């Protein structure tokens, strides 16, 4: 083939592609009209990808498949940064390929973030993964329950959990954003309706619907929207609204699991001057969590999954309420626990159970372990008293007294054994705990 023929063929090919352009647009419009297209316009894609997309039209899926196979290789080799760009191309080629959105967000929030030692750097990547799903993946796939659930999972597990060393940074940074947006732990909904700027920021930038938030509060209680658990509940609720049967089951599990976690550490304690950041138990959520478990236990398909979690929650909540000096609620929870857990004898008393649960060793503790348990409880009592939380201070005080009394009881009638293995008087340990608090706070 001579050079002239090659040039003519090349010109003919370019001309054919140029002529096919309008036909591709007409075909895409027809497919969109019949609801069978995924060929939305590409934004900010590399020029080569734009060209091949226009040129190949419906063959864009083949390109995405090839890139997806390449991404699997990069994942195997641990080349996570290269995966970021590759996944971005795939999402631009096939914006309704939900698996890629879910994987891309997970890669950013989990794989990329942990490559950094600086906690603020980690937060930027975690937030990138979260916003990618919220602002792009879900926008391209409205009503897709899988992506709504995946977004809730980032809030529940990555931001709300404690498996990442930087988890407190994630919580703090998100709380600062929500504090600036909401002005407190919960929106003032009436004032919000009269503030179009803040309302637009909530709905447009954070994709939060005040009506859904109020619906969640009616079901789940006065949750603190500055913390991740509330947003896990929000996105699970959104997934449940549009999901099918299996989607609804998973979304419902996320909701009551996030409610349990919100009871454990879903209220933000910042101190009188706002300088502290202590996620603490949210006791006002207790009746809502119990109701959520009752609903799960009443559902035959959920009962097996919920039973073990319910017993574990009751055992934990008994101790929490005791530590907050909420004795009537603690006794009610312990009665529920005895009914729900056949392993607990009917004659089991609450205080020995709390002692065993809190110490982890019970009467098998060594002298050093018992002393440490009593002093740490008294330290916590002095700490919360100093911060103005008298209820929690009283709870830790009575826990210290309980441990001291239970440990010393077997030694009271054995002077030599008491002298050799017993504890100092409670007041002496209290004095040492307060001195340790003053040393640690520099006062």
Regarding whether 119 and 204 lie in a shared domain, the answer is yes
Distance between CA atoms of residues 246 and 255, nearest Å: 14
Last residue of a domain, one of 265, 298, 331: 298
Regarding whether 123 and 38 lie in a shared domain, the answer is no
84 lies in some domain:
no
Regarding whether 382 and 249 lie in a shared domain, the answer is no
311 lies in some domain:
no
Nearest to 231 by CA among 287, 286, 181, 305: 181
Strand partners, 269: 278
Strand partners, 278: 269
3-state secondary structure of 9: helix
Regarding whether 368 and 283 lie in a shared domain, the answer is no
Please tell me the number of Cα atoms within 13 Å of 139 on its side-chain side: 14
264 lies in some domain:
yes
Q: What phi and psi values does residue 279 have, to the nearest 5 degrees?
A: -65, 125
Regarding whether 294 and 210 lie in a shared domain, the answer is yes
Regarding whether 67 and 101 lie in a shared domain, the answer is no
State which H helix or E strand residue 70 sits in: helix 60-77
Tens of pLDDT along the chain (443 residues) come to 566 666 666 666 656 655 555 655 565 565 555 544 444 554 544 454 455 555 555 666 666 667 777 777 777 777 777 777 777 777 777 788 898 899 889 989 998 899 899 999 999 999 999 999 999 999 989 999 999 999 999 999 999 999 999 999 999 999 999 999 999 999 999 998 889 999 999 999 999 999 999 999 999 999 999 999 999 999 999 999 999 999 999 999 999 999 999 999 999 998 877 888 999 999 999 999 999 999 999 988 888 889 999 999 999 999 999 999 999 999 999 999 999 999 999 889 999 999 999 998 777 889 999 999 999 999 999 999 998 899 999 999 999 999 999 999 998 888 888 888 899 999 999 999 999 999 887 66
Regarding whether 161 and 118 lie in a shared domain, the answer is yes
Angle at 302 (CA atoms; ends 298, 306), nearest 5 degrees: 90
Full residue range of the structural domain in which residue 32 is found = 11-75
Distance between CA atoms of residues 116 and 404, nearest Å: 45
Q: What phi and psi values does residue 64 have, to the nearest 5 degrees?
A: -60, -40
Regarding whether 248 and 196 lie in a shared domain, the answer is yes
Regarding whether 116 and 249 lie in a shared domain, the answer is yes
315 lies in some domain:
no
Regarding whether 71 and 105 lie in a shared domain, the answer is no
Last residue of a domain, one of 298, 326, 344: 298
Chain-centroid distance, C-alpha 236: 11
342 lies in some domain:
no
Distance between CA atoms of residues 154 and 87, nearest Å: 18
305 lies in some domain:
no
Q: How many domains does the chain have?
A: 3
Q: What is the biggest distance separating any 2 CA atoms in the chain, rounded to whole angstroms?
A: 113
350 lies in some domain:
no
pTM for this entry: 0.83
The residues, ordered by sequence, that sit 6+ positions from 62 with a Cβ below 8 Å of its Cβ are 56
Regarding whether 237 and 157 lie in a shared domain, the answer is yes
Measured over the CA atoms of residue 293, residue 297, residue 302 and residue 305, the dihedral's sign is positive
Regarding whether 100 and 65 lie in a shared domain, the answer is no
Six-digit token pair at 250?
A: 């998973």
């Amino acid at each position: 083939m001579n050079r002239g023929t090659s040039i003519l063929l090349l010109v003919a090919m370019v001309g054919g592609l140029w002529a096919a352009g309008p036909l591709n647009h007409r075909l895409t419009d027809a497919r969109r009209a019949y609801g069978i297209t995924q060929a939305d316009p590409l934004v900010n894609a590399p020029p080569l990808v734009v060209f091949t997309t226009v040129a190949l039209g419906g063959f864009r899926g083949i390109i995405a498949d090839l890139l997806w196979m390449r991404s699997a290789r990069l994942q195997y080799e641990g080349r996570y940064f290269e995966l970021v760009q590759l996944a971005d191309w795939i999402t631009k080629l096939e914006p309704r390929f939900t698996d890629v959105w879910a994987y891309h967000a997970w890669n950013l929030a989990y794989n990329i973030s942990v490559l950094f030692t600086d906690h603020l750097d980690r937060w930027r990547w975690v937030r990138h993964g979260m916003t990618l799903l919220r602002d792009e993946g879900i926008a391209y796939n409205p009503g897709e329950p899988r992506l709504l659930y995946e977004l809730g999972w980032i809030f529940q597990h990555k931001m709300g959990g404690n498996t990442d060393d930087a988890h407190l940074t994630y919580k703090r940074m998100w709380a600062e954003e929500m504090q600036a947006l909401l002005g407190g732990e919960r929106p003032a909904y009436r004032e919000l309706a009269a503030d179009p700027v803040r309302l637009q920021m909530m709905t447009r930038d954070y994709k939060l619907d005040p009506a859904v938030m109020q619906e969640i509060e009616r079901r789940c209680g006065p949750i603190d929207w500055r913390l991740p658990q509330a947003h896990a509940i929000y996105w699970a609720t959104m997934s449940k609204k549009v999901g099918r049967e299996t989607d609804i089951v998973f979304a419902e599990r996320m909701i009551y699991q996030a409610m349990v976690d919100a009871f454990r550490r879903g209220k933000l304690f910042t101190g009188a001057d706002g300088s502290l950041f202590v996620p603490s138990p949210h006791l006002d959520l207790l009746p809502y969590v119990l109701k959520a478990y009752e609903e799960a236990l009443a559902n035959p398909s959920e009962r097996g999954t919920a039973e073990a979690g319910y017993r574990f929650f009751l055992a934990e909540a008994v101790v929490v309420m005791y530590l907050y000096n909420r004795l009537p609620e603690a006794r009610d929870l312990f009665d529920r626990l005895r009914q729900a857990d056949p392993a607990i004898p009917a004659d089991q008393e609450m205080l020995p159970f709390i002692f065993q649960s809190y110490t982890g060793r019970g009467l098998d503790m060594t002298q050093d372990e018992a002393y440490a348990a009593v002093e740490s409880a008294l330290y916590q009592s002095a700490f919360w008293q100093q911060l103005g939380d008298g209820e929690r201070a009283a709870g830790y005080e009575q826990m210290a007294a309980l441990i001291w009394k239970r440990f010393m009881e077997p030694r009271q009638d054995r002077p030599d054994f008491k002298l050799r293995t017993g504890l100092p008087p409670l007041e002496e340990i209290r004095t040492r705990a307060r001195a340790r608090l003053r040393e640690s706070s520099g006062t």
